[in-house]
Amino acid sequence: MEYTVKGIAELAGVSPRTLRWYDKTGLLKPTRVSESGYRFYGAAAVDRLQQILFFRELGFSLAEIKRILDSPDFSETAALQSHLLALTRQRERIDALILTVQKTLDDRKGENKMNDSEKFEAFKRGLVRENEERYGAESRAAYGDGAVDAANSAVLGMREDQHAAWTALDEAIHAALAEAVRAQCAPDGPQGQKIAQIHREWLSYTIPRYDPGQHAGIAALYAADARFTAYYDRDLPGCAQFLCDAVKSYTKRL
């Protein structure tokens, strides 16, 4: 079956303007164009549009979606399985947040007292799950299941004040890195070593027993893995490499 622009727009719940943009950028080309210029979309185009909308729901940019769908390694079955896993985890996060909101409402009504740990459990579980999805495989390969499980347990066990302090240190690292890179500071200089010390303090919340080799290895991942690099370079390119070099210098002095 073939659909016109209007027909597939109504079917998928998108606007004709969106479809024209997808066509212009090469993300979704019509199956054929008639002599009079009308676009028609067949079964393959319908399936590709469904994939586009799945990826959009999961937060991917249009450029990322095009790169994925156009890859010779792309598998629709594998993509659907990945969507199912991601959406299931998303539902689990939402369910946990809904439960937290409900418990908070009950607490405000004086029905069921909520302890401080329960108030933040859903957020911490979401953070652990997100980190596991993004970096779990690499971290477990580098440091073993025991170390990663211990770090996850430490996050889940944080009190409200500990979690706030840990988050504040992370933001402080980002701010200090951007300032140091803009000022072209040396990673082994005073500013770089101060950042490395803050990073050590940040790590201590999840890895109580400090190991300089482990510290240097973790920082090395920031420059070696594109996902870690993107996280630390979110404000300014070069921050991940600066942190890697600063920690390397810091640990050599211990």
Asked which of 30, 51, 70 is the last residue of a domain, the reply is: 70
Say yes or no: 45 and 20 in one domain: yes
Least confident of 74-83, 148-157, 160-169: 148-157
What CA–CA distance (Å, rounded) separates 20 from 9?
Answer: 10
Q: Find the domain containing 215 and state its range.
A: 159-252
What CA–CA distance (Å, rounded) separates 65 from 22?
Answer: 11
- Mind listing the pLDDT tens digit for each residue in 77-101? 888 887 887 777 677 667 766 776 7
Which residues sit opposite 40 in a β-bridge? 4, 32
What CA–CA distance (Å, rounded) separates 21 from 72?
Answer: 23
Residue at 236: amino acid letter: L
Least confident of 4-13, 40-49, 86-95, 190-199: 86-95
Domain count, the chain: 3
Say yes or no: 163 and 248 in one domain: yes
32-51 core/surface letters (b: 16 or more CB in 10 A; e: else): eeeeeeebbbeeebbebbeb
User: Contact 225/243 with Cβ under 8 angstroms?
Assistant: no
124, pLDDT greater than 60: no
5, pLDDT greater than 90: yes
Say yes or no: 54 and 128 in one domain: no
User: Contact 62/27 with Cβ under 8 angstroms?
Assistant: yes
Say yes or no: 168 and 245 in one domain: yes
What CA–CA distance (Å, rounded) separates 208 from 201?
Answer: 10
Asked which of 21, 55, 70 is the last residue of a domain, the reply is: 70
Say yes or no: 177 and 248 in one domain: yes
pTM summary value: 0.49
Look at residue 233 in the predicted model and tell me its pLDDT. 92
136, pLDDT greater than 90: no
